[in-house]
Amino acid sequence: MESIFDNILWTEWVCLAAAILYTICYKKLSNLERWIVVLLWSNVLADRIASINLNSDYNLSGIIYNQLAPFQRAVTLLIYYAYLKSVKIKKLNLIGLVAVLCIHAAGWAIYGDVSVFHRDIFIYSGLIVAVLSYLTLQEIILNQNEISTVIIAFCMGSFAYLTLMASAHSAVELIYEQDKSMGELVYLGNDIGYAIWSLSLITAILWRIR
């Protein structure tokens, strides 16, 4: 029988380290920052289930990521909305939230089968959050007096991950059909982005407790 600890990817280890560290430092986080702990553990759980399910005939990973993506992106935009002082950027994040939820709802309606990974929907909603992560980061650095290193790291990590994710997922299927090894190399961009997200958060919490 396959163990839940079999075939753990290096990106999972990095995210798990971040999740454990943030759980240990939970009391040092604001109520808003504690939502990041939820995002970290939801990633850890989803990645583990998806990895275990790789050799199964039933594509549970598609179901997991089709449900996880709108939840995580909605929470991310709500964190931005709650943290920001600028009414303009707050409104943009609300508009982005509605757009993300509508895109994913459309994906469920178009695809029908929730076990099929909605890659294009995953890319579109990711790009929306990437743009809003950049705008939120810019607003915090330039115009906000109270600055949380954790929120800044969260914005930076989200922008880096979602940008690299969109680039990798946009090209990987086509390239993989032509050259499997090159396709795997392209997908590495997604893994690197994911690791950057986790490492950004680790750096921020270590800076806070130094």
* CA atoms of 97 and 81, how far apart (whole Å): 10
Indicate whether 170 belongs to any domain.
yes
Indicate whether 5 belongs to any domain.
no
**Average of pLDDT values for 100-117?**
88
Note the pLDDT tens digit of each residue in 60-80: 778 888 899 999 999 999 999
Q: Give the model's pLDDT for residue 4.
A: 47
Indicate whether 4 belongs to any domain.
no
Residue 123 identity (one-letter amino acid): I
Asked whether the beta carbons of 38 and 22 are under 8 A apart, the reply is no
Its pTM stands at 0.90
* CA atoms of 30 and 43, how far apart (whole Å): 21
H or E segment to which residue 190 belongs: helix 180-209
Q: How many domains does the chain contain in total?
A: 1
Half-sphere exposure for 140 (CA within 13 Å, toward CB):
23
Q: Which of 125, 203, 198, 96 is nearest to 157 (CA)?
A: 198
Q: Give the model's pLDDT for residue 1.
A: 41
Mean pLDDT, the chain, whole residue set: 89
Query: Does residue 57 have a pLDDT over 70?
Result: no
Domain residue limits at 157? 10-209
Q: Which of 79, 97, 207 is nearest to 154 (CA)?
A: 79
Note the pLDDT tens digit of each residue in 127-179: 999 999 999 999 999 988 788 999 999 999 999 999 999 999 888 888 877 88
Indicate whether 3 belongs to any domain.
no
